[in-house]
Amino acid sequence: MGWIRQSIVAVIRTFLCILTILLPVFQTQVAVGQQIPRARIEGVVLQSGSSVPISDVHIFISRSSIGTTSTSAGTYNLTLPVGAHRIVVSRVGFQTQVHDVMIRESRAYSLNFELDEEVLEMEGLTISAVRNRNWDKQLDRFKEAFLGLTENADSTFILNAEILSFKEENGRFTARADAPLQLVNRALGYEIEHHLHHFMIQGDETWQDGESAFTPLKPTSEQELAYWEGNRMKAYLGSSGHFFQSVVNNMSRQEGFQAYLVGDPINVGNARQSSQNFAAPMQQPEFAVNPYVLLETGQSNNEHSLSFAKFMLIVFTRERESEQYAQWQKVYHSGEARDLQYSWVTLRDGVATLDSQGNVLDPYAFSFFGYMSFERLADLMPKEYRPR
């Protein structure tokens, strides 16, 4: 079991803003019957340094289907669950703003935004009717790393790929989008607006930073809805979102996860699976840890800090590896799909903050290796999704 080198890490382009929200309590029913308090943020979006309102600004929660647009007076209001969120404020012609917030109380809060106009650098621009002959190959490389190689990726399409440009230099492959990418995922039943901030492949690692807004598609039949619901369930199970939710609920083992604190995956992978001590996946379960005991209460009862040294090996026991993953990783192991899914996670800054639903305040607090890094945007579910 070799070291899974493929990873997703990110360059953070945001500043942290911990909010205490003040508003009367709202409630929403989740699939498991638990009531999640809700709050509302409201305010106005203005041009920076002036009192000129900006209309049609998209204000949304990253990796969710929660969002709204500003009115002609620049005003907006947004109802959202209490917890950790990344708020994205975006409009063509203005610089996008990203704010990480921890909403701790079900109360109202006024949050105004001032947007700077975006200056486009046109110097040296050459318009050509002939596309770079390498562009199509570069697009294929981008889609493999961005969407993934799963069956869901085969049914996910970038509708405005022409806004993408690519650069290959000194072993680095980078991609840039001049506007939000518009995608449709026919396997999971979502339209996706993705704001790509940063994308780079270097060696066998991929770095990407971006924010996604989901809009559910309307099914044309009950059969199509059932197809989407089945695929959504499959995408959720074993995902990082599923794992962290199970951790904060102290249900990781019941949900099919085994967790082990390990050293460098190189050393772990060099040993035979049956002889690995601190990483022994299923042969010696007494070495497994309950990740819930690694949590510490944060500034509120609905907030947790998670920290651990080096790497955590996460084994999901209820699904086999896909054949696509086995082929993708055959340089590191036999190329045959195994009965369990192995992932490694490490903390980028030593600690991460999670809310009571397992949402991470900083979406890029972790670097993932192995199976959880294989599943990319085409397998991403809105963070509020829970199986029915």
Helices (H), the chain: 135-147, 151-154, 222-236, 240-248, 265-270, 323-328, 371-374
Type of residue at 287: F
pLDDT at residue 172, rounded to an integer = 95
Q: Which residue has the higher pLDDT, 51 or 177?
A: 177
pLDDT at residue 281, rounded to an integer = 39
Look at the block and give the residue holding tokens 């990407």: 208
Q: What is the pLDDT of residues 250-266, one digit of tens each?
A: 999 999 999 999 876 65
pLDDT at residue 299, rounded to an integer = 84
Whether residue 33 is predicted with pLDDT greater than 90 in this model: the reply is no
- Distance in angstroms (rounded) separating the CA atoms of residues 57 and 75: 9
The SS3 of residue 56 is coil
Question: Average pLDDT, stretch 35-64?
Answer: 93
DSSP string, 89-122: EE-TTB--EEEEEEE-SSSEEE--EEEPBPPP--
Q: What is the pLDDT of residues 126-165, one digit of tens each?
A: 444 446 778 999 999 999 999 999 999 999 999 999 999 9
pLDDT at residue 133, rounded to an integer = 75
Whether residue 69 is predicted with pLDDT greater than 90 in this model: the reply is yes
Look at the block and give the residue holding tokens 């696509």: 324
pLDDT at residue 9, rounded to an integer = 34
pLDDT at residue 326, rounded to an integer = 84
Q: What is the pLDDT of residues 299-320, one digit of tens each?
A: 887 899 999 998 999 999 999 9
Angle made by CA atoms 328, 162, 208, in degrees to the nearest 5: 45
pLDDT at residue 217, rounded to an integer = 98
pLDDT at residue 334, rounded to an integer = 61
Number of helices (H) and strands (E) in the chain: give both, helices first: 7, 24
Tokens of 192: 């996706």
Question: Average pLDDT, stretch 46-51?
Answer: 92
Whether residue 329 is predicted with pLDDT greater than 50 in this model: the reply is yes
pLDDT at residue 323, rounded to an integer = 87
pLDDT at residue 14, rounded to an integer = 32
pLDDT at residue 330, rounded to an integer = 62
Whether residue 68 is predicted with pLDDT greater than 50 in this model: the reply is yes
Q: How far is CA 172 from the centre of its chain?
A: 23
Type of residue at 260: Y
Type of residue at 365: A
Question: Average pLDDT, stretch 88-106?
Answer: 93
Type of residue at 39: A
Query: How many angstroms separate the Cα of 290 from the Cα of each of 249, 254, 341?
Result: 11, 11, 18
- How would residue 206 be classed by pLDDT, with cut points 50, 70 and 90? confident
Whether residue 228 is predicted with pLDDT greater than 80 in this model: the reply is yes
pLDDT at residue 283, rounded to an integer = 39
Q: Which residue has the higher pLDDT, 376 or 18?
A: 376
pLDDT at residue 170, rounded to an integer = 93
Whether residue 384 is predicted with pLDDT greater than 70 in this model: the reply is yes
Question: What does the mean pLDDT of the chain come to?
Answer: 83
- Distance in angstroms (rounded) separating the CA atoms of residues 328 and 374: 9
Least confident of 1-5, 71-75, 88-92, 298-302: 1-5
pLDDT at residue 364, rounded to an integer = 84
CB 189 within 8 A of CB 232: yes
Whether residue 284 is predicted with pLDDT greater than 80 in this model: the reply is no
Dihedral, 325, 327, 331, 333 alpha carbons, nearest 10: 70
Looking at mean pLDDT, say which of 97-106, 131-140, 227-236, 337-346 comes out highest. 227-236
According to CATH, the topology of domain 15-115 is Immunoglobulin-like (2.60.40)
